[in-house]
Chains A and B, each alone.
Chain A
Amino acid sequence: MMPFWPEYAFMIVGMGIVTYLPRWLPLILLSRRQLPEWLVDWLDFIPVAILSALLAPLLLTSGPVPHLDIGRAELFAALPTFGVAFLTRSLGGTVLAGMLAFWLIQIYWLG
């Protein structure tokens, strides 16, 4: 166990507060006012930018200290996954196809 229970509980509550505030403040503050047009445009680009910024390092880097790595099963499996997503536009179908591709690549290619 962590040294003792109350310290762990305090730490968790602290982590909870600093996680909740960035999720809560913008929703409460920004949903009440008319935002300038440039900000609305900027926020409209945030989802595509965040998704790509989350995804690309998962496909192209590896290691606890990240380094560029273009030989990962994650990257090879992404090619058919992108194809299925583009053609079917089905989230569930893409997830299952991606899992299958990744599984097969790990077993038959890199295994």
Chain B
Amino acid sequence: MRQARFASVWRRGLSAAWPICLGYLPIGMALGVLGQKAGLHPLAIGFMSLIVFAGSSQFIAVSMISSGIPALTIVLTTLVVNLRHLLMSSALAIPFRGRSRRLLTLFAYGVTDESFAVNYPRLLDGNWQIEHALVVNHAANLTWIASTIIGGYGGQYIPEGAFGIDYALIAMFICLLIFQLRGRVYLFTALVAGVLAVGLSLVLPGNWHIIAGSMIAATIGTIIKRRHMRSPL
């Protein structure tokens, strides 16, 4: 019985995780190639993927390393780029209310844009436990680490853009966005966030457009929702 549940956790976790893994493969390999060009050993790139596990800030770090920017600047940039995870972990705290600190500490390591987007709607539906979410996080993490190392060793021999694989993560975000449109207020919030993020990306440095755009849009969505509750149309 226990064993059957264990197998089912793995099966369901992995069947939710494979689109992330598919999407990480080309991006991780591209990072490995760039890292190697910046003079990093493939295993040093893998070490970064293991300890940091945050794609966009790793790309930025590699490019800063190759232009000889000091380590402290790279660390501070990483902090700023990854501040958006504050928002995701805050949202996840609600379905994970009262879970053990030990599991949450393990889970926190794997919070990424992609795992968050896959886990969060399933957690809301119920029928998805922290164990399933951990399988998703770690499958994505292992794929990421492995693909960055593979890229470092031989990524330059693999043809670029084969089978449209570079589009896997964008397509995943599109589908997960559709899943999140649970009513007109959510659709409106998404439109506001998209317009703001595009506009702000033209003027703000780094990833601030994601943080600012989504916080403002969520605030507008909340105001509309609470107005409607007081005076239902």
**A contact set with B: CB distance below 8 Å:** 1-2, 7-16, 18-20, 22-32, 35, 38, 40-61, 66-68, 74, 77-78, 81-82, 85-86, 89-92, 94-95, 97-104, 106
Question: A46 — nearest CB in chain B belongs to which residue?
Answer: B91
B158 contacts chain A at the CB level, 8 A cutoff? no
**Scoring B residues 65 to 96 as 1 if CB is less than 8 Å from chain A, else 0, what string do you get?**
10000011011101100111111111111101
Given contacts A2-B40, A95-B171, contact A45 B218 (CB under 8 A): yes
| Cβ–Cβ < 8 Å partners of B191 in chain A | 52
CB pair B108 A24 closer than 8 Å: yes
Residue in A30, A41, A54, A98 whose beta carbon sits within 8 Å of that of B226 in the complex? A41
Cβ contact within 8 Å between B57 and A19: yes
Please measure, in the bound complex, the distance between the C-alpha atom of A19 and the C-alpha atom of B53, giving whole angstroms. Answer: 8
Contact A74 B170, CB 8 Å, known A18-B79, A31-B96, A103-B164: yes
The answer to whether A95 touches B193, judged by C-beta atoms less than 8 angstroms apart, is no
Whether the pair A89, B89 counts as a contact (CB closer than 8 A) is no
Known contacts: A19-B78, A52-B217, A95-B168. The answer to whether A46 contacts B19 by CB under 8 A is no
In the complex, 30 of the A-B residue pairs with CB atoms within 8 angstroms, ordered by the A residue number, are A12-B51, A13-B51, A14-B71, A27-B111, A28-B101, A41-B222, A46-B87, A48-B181, A49-B213, A49-B214, A49-B217, A49-B218, A49-B221, A50-B88, A51-B180, A53-B194, A53-B209, A53-B217, A55-B177, A61-B202, A86-B178, A91-B16, A91-B118, A91-B176, A94-B174, A98-B164, A99-B165, A102-B167, A102-B170, A104-B164
